Each structure stands twice: as C-alpha cells, then as structure tokens.
Amino acid sequence: MRMFLQWGLMLVLLAAPAAASDPALRKADARHAAGGLEDLEAALDLYARARQAAPLDYETLWKSARAHRDYADRAKQDTLADWKAICKTQGKIAMQLAEKAVGLAPERVEGHYYYGLSVGIYSDGVSIFTALSEGLKDKTQTSFEKAYALDKHYNDAGPILSLGRFWTVLPWPMHDRQKALNYFREYEATGFLDTYAEAQVYFGELLMKMGGKANKQEARRWLERAAQAPERYYAEWAARLLAQLG
C-alpha cells in the first residue's frame, strides 16, 4: 500500500506541471496565431513561461520551437536590419527545443517537422554552407523523412513540400532535382500548391533550374500566380524570378 501511494504521488507531481502550463500555453497559442512580428515576439515570452511550468511537456516544447522559427521567418520576410542574426539565434533555439520534443515523443510528427524547418531558418542566417559544415544535412533529411513517414499531410502537406525544397536548395553535388520534382508533383496533387505563394515560388525556382522550354513555361505560370499574392515577400521574389525568365 505504501509503495502504491508513493507511485501515485509521483504521477500527480509529474502531471501537475503540464496542467499548470495550460493558461500560459493558450495565451501563447493565441498570440502566435495572430502572426505579426510583435505578436510572435510576445508569444516567445509566453511559451517560455509555459516551459517553466512544464519543462517536459511535449506540446509546449514543439510549439515553442515553432514560435522561435516563425519569429525568425517573420523577421526575414519583414527584412529587419538584423534579420540574419535573428535567424541564427532563433533558429538554434528552435532546433534545441524541437530536439527535446522529439526525445519525448519520437512517434509524433511535430517535433521532427519543426526541427527540419528550424535548421532551414538557421541556415538563412548563417548560410547553407555553414549549416552543412556543422553536419546538419543528414539531421534535416532524417527529420523531414520521419515527418513524411509519420504524417506527410501534416500542416497542409508540409513534410512533402519541405522535402521538395530540401532537395532543391542543397548545393552540388548533393542536390537532387529529380527527387525534388517528384515531391513537388506529389505536393501539387494535394491541391495546396494552387493557393500557397511560397510553394509556387519554390516550385517555379526548381523548374527554372531544371531548364528546358516546357519547364520554363510551367515555371512562368506558377510564378505569375505568386507575383499576384498578398504576401509581399514572396510576390517580390516571384517578380525577380520572372525577370530572369525574360
């Protein structure tokens, strides 16, 4: 009986922190969903409070990783003067948080997915060559492939799109444009490509790199759509690529 009571007390103590974090976590989720730079910055503080209350809560950890990654991505899209430094710092924090989440629940998709995205934003800050020199290529590939295997349709088919982009941006001789194209075709079949400017830019860029008249014609179609998108960052990127097509 005494042993049973001790184990019962331990279970209560382990469960209590996660419950205590709920209000802070809900507030953090709300600020993150708002999406503006100030909202995301506020969300970082709220997620930090949630982690203090529940340092081993899986949901708190992966959402924290997402928030740090998204804050850096927003800084990049808003072209803040120090956006590269922000991407480097916030990307590394996001990677660490996502790695902790994966350690707690390797069977869940979120930790793997946001680890890969966090490496991507970190690479934006330090350069892809620096990230590769730090041994992050295999870790990123493994993370995205694991996310794909667990739930490739998670976050509007994010793992499919991420693998397509991953195999596009790697420098020679590591990139694999045919593999990238296969993932983009799979992503296209989901229907999300029709309405997602970021993906349209990525796909258009890949088709341009592959060359050939048919690929360039298809690239133009996707880039013309992206150039009309309300997301200024991707609309301007699409316009630059269209200018290269001539």
With beta carbons less than 8 A apart as the criterion, state whether 226 and 197 touch.
yes
pTM over 0.95, yes/no: no
Domain boundary among 151, 174, 206: 151
Compute CA 186 distance to the chain's CA centroid, rounded to the nearest angstrom.
19
Classify residue 10: in a domain, yes or no: no
Q: How far apart are CA 243 and CA 237, in angstroms?
A: 10
Q: What is the pLDDT of residue 15?
A: 40
Sign of the Cα pseudo-torsion (127, 130, 136, 138, in order): positive
With beta carbons less than 8 A apart as the criterion, state whether 116 and 140 touch.
yes
Pair 97, 170 in one domain = no
Domain that includes residue 182, residue range:
152-246
Pair 172, 245 in one domain = yes
Domain boundary among 94, 120, 151: 151
Integer CA distances (angstroms), 98 to 68, 77, 87, 115, in order: 10, 22, 16, 5
Pair 137, 162 in one domain = no
Q: How far apart are CA 81 and CA 76, in angstroms?
A: 9
Pair 156, 120 in one domain = no
List the alpha helices (DSSP H) in 105-127.
109-126
Q: What is the pLDDT of residue 213?
A: 97
Pair 70, 105 in one domain = yes
Classify residue 112: in a domain, yes or no: yes
Q: How far apart are CA 212 and CA 35, in angstroms?
A: 39
Classify residue 97: in a domain, yes or no: yes
pLDDT tens digits for range 16-30 = 344 445 888 999 999
Pair 162, 136 in one domain = no
Classify residue 8: in a domain, yes or no: no
Number of domains in the chain: 2
Pair 25, 60 in one domain = yes
DSSP string, 172-212: TTT--HHHHHHHHHHHHHHTGGGG-HHHHHHHHHHHHHH-S
Pair 141, 206 in one domain = no
Residue type, 245: L
What does the pLDDT profile of the chain (246 residues) look like in tens digits?
434 334 443 433 344 344 445 888 999 999 999 999 999 999 999 999 999 999 999 999 999 999 999 999 999 999 999 999 999 999 999 999 999 999 999 999 999 999 999 999 999 999 999 999 999 999 999 999 999 999 999 999 999 999 999 999 999 999 999 999 999 999 999 999 999 999 999 999 999 999 999 999 999 999 999 999 999 999 999 999 999 998
